[in-house]
Amino acid sequence: MEKIARIDMGAQGGPRVTFEPVGEYAGLGGRATTSIMIAKEVNPLAHALGAENKLVIAPGMLSGSAGAMTGRLSVGCKSPLTGTIKESNAGGQAAQVLARIGYAAIVLEGKPEGDDLYKIIVSAEGIKVEVDNSLKLMDNYPLVEKLRAQYGDKVAYMTIGSAGERMLYAASIACTDPELRPTRHCGRGGVGAVMGSKKVKAIILDDAGMKMRPPKYPDKFRDANRKFVEGLRKHPVTGEGLPAYGTNVLTNVINEAGGYPTRNFRSGTFEGAAKLSGEAQAELEIKRGGTATHGCHRGCVIQCSGIYNDKNGNYLTKQPEYETVWAHGGHCGIDDLDVVAELDFLDDNIGLDTIDMGVAIGVAMDAGIIKFGDGEGAIRLMKEEVAKGTPLGRLLGCGAEITGKVLGVEKVPVVKGQALPAYDPRPIQGIGVTYATTTMGADHTAGYAIATNILKSGGDVDPLKVEGQVELSRNLQIATAAIDSTGMCLFIAFAILDQPETFQAFLDMLNAFYGTELTGDSVVELGKKVLSAERDFNARAGFTKYHDRLPRFFYTDPIAPHNQVFSVSDEEMDQLYNW
């Protein structure tokens, strides 16, 4: 990945493509590239949908190699949803293909005048930007089928649906999976709206003629990769639970822990959880001829995805993930997996973050737009309002915070404008610290305290007590920022937290690939470097420690069954970044 491409969509006379060496971004990747570049080059006070914002697309440090689990792509910008810096990442084939073509980053800059819509073709021969107004307001599934007819099946696609074109604040960017379905999404923060503001509908990535990125020391890399894979396969989470039941294996676990937010965070348990569980989902998928085990990109050994078929045995969507099942399920009082799967398909097709959409619909239910538990009503809202761009649909498509404000809902579960995911912070205090303090709005992946609070991976910190939660979240946020930079899937964290030899194999892969001598301390320093850049951007954008707080009702309203509130003090949370 020896070069960076910049595409000025607002250049006089039409989009202009320029190339430059990696320079100061050498040795970085993924989130490190996107966040450091955005922090340096974007005015923090710029409007997120304006010409000053940039969209940086970066594969990870090991993407495009033969290394396992290296297919994550990072997309960075100033978020229209939160106003903060944003990195959103996805699996699928895009990262591997872009890295093999040789790009450390593609940067979309400027904003074109007029109504033309563009597609970008990236290959070993260069980059072409073409007007294609035939794609206007197409959603992702038909859009990809149309593009496949022209560009074939041996490429990867990044697209936005109608939500991105309409610049809805919860709009996502879809990346195609190995079967070329637009199922893997850079979902959070409205990155699809930023791509839409640049009038870019699709990016076609063609690595024809390109080989795997070669490591500096092939034999050492191969040996380290083998040990790394062995470690993933012998860990109970990455080798057993996730491959068998996908991420939705957590539904029963979190419900039993009393941390499963139900009906807009009114309770920590849901009476219909068993119907939504990963076990029930896997059984149904297999019964209908789908699969409960599937990789979202080539080189995945955890295989935590799946294929969900409808009642007639026809493909409906990829296996809905835990957060999606919760957002459209328990959060809305819905216990029907077919309803959840239909909503997941609609999110992917229209191009929306499943978490913010599910939470927005739950907030709308709280306002009386439809009743809790009304699955057909939720589908109708997506099909008749959001997909058609009606005023109510645009409201929902801009996420839970805006929905709550306009509809007059008191309890809206967001931090910095972004909806909380599927873990209540009152009975799981560590994840509450992460929600409040992460640089990007409420985000479970930023510092996945569930691993230690609930699953007891990497230690044991009592989820109901305040002791140790800030340190836990701090360490996890640092580690996550580093992992997000490598292009590796975050789920490797379970194995590298619990198995020192697997963590060493992870380091050995990086060192063999680049000829470096990275240690555990080097990983920590990389994570701190990324977080420091993000914090600096947010500070210049006007964010202070007072934004690092949960909504007030989490501090005042106890939740059953543990009947406690979020209790980590502001003073403790304010120390999280004091390293």
DSSP string, 112-135: --SS--EEEEEETTEEEEEE-GGG
Q: ∠ at Cα 564 (558, 569), nearest 5°?
A: 105
Helix H or strand E encompassing 360: helix 354-366
**pLDDT on residue 296:** 85
Only one residue has tokens 């106890």, namely 558
* Per-residue pLDDT tens listing for the chain (579 residues): 689 999 999 999 999 999 999 999 998 999 999 999 999 999 999 999 999 999 999 999 999 999 999 999 999 999 999 999 999 999 999 999 999 999 999 999 999 999 999 999 999 999 999 999 999 999 999 999 999 999 999 999 999 999 999 999 999 999 999 999 999 999 999 999 999 999 999 999 999 999 999 999 999 999 999 999 999 999 999 998 889 888 999 999 999 999 999 999 999 999 999 999 999 999 999 999 999 888 888 889 898 899 999 999 999 999 999 999 999 999 999 999 999 999 999 999 999 999 999 999 999 999 999 999 999 999 999 999 999 999 999 999 999 999 999 999 999 999 999 999 999 999 999 999 999 999 999 999 999 999 999 999 999 999 999 999 999 999 999 999 999 999 999 899 999 999 999 999 999 999 999 999 999 999 999 999 999 999 999 999 999 999 999 999 999 999 999 999 999 999 999 999 998
Q: How many residues does the chain have?
A: 579
**pLDDT on residue 295:** 86
CA–CA gap between residue 379 and residue 388 (Å, rounded) = 13
How crowded is the C-beta side of 248, counted as CA atoms within 13 Å?
32
**Measured CA distances, 228 to 61, 448, 455, 498 (Å):** 16, 21, 21, 13
Residue 382 makes CB contacts below 8 A (sequence gap 6+) with: 343, 346, 347, 350, 357
Report whether 74 contacts 60 (CB < 8 A): yes
Torsion of CA 447, 450, 456, 458, to 10 degrees: -10
CA–CA gap between residue 335 and residue 205 (Å, rounded) = 39
Helix H or strand E encompassing 203: strand 200-206
List the domains of the chain with CATH numbers: 3-206 (3.60.9.10), 215-245+425-579 (1.10.599.10), 252-420 (1.10.569.10)
The two tokens of residue 346 are: 């609609």
The two tokens of residue 184 are: 């893997």
**pLDDT on residue 304:** 86
The two tokens of residue 425 are: 């912070």
Map 434-486 to HEC letters.
HHHHCCCCCCHHHCCCHHHHCCCCCCCCCCCCCCCHHHHHHHHHHHHHHHHHH
**pLDDT on residue 1:** 67
CA–CA gap between residue 265 and residue 251 (Å, rounded) = 15
Longest CA–CA span in the chain (Å) reads 63
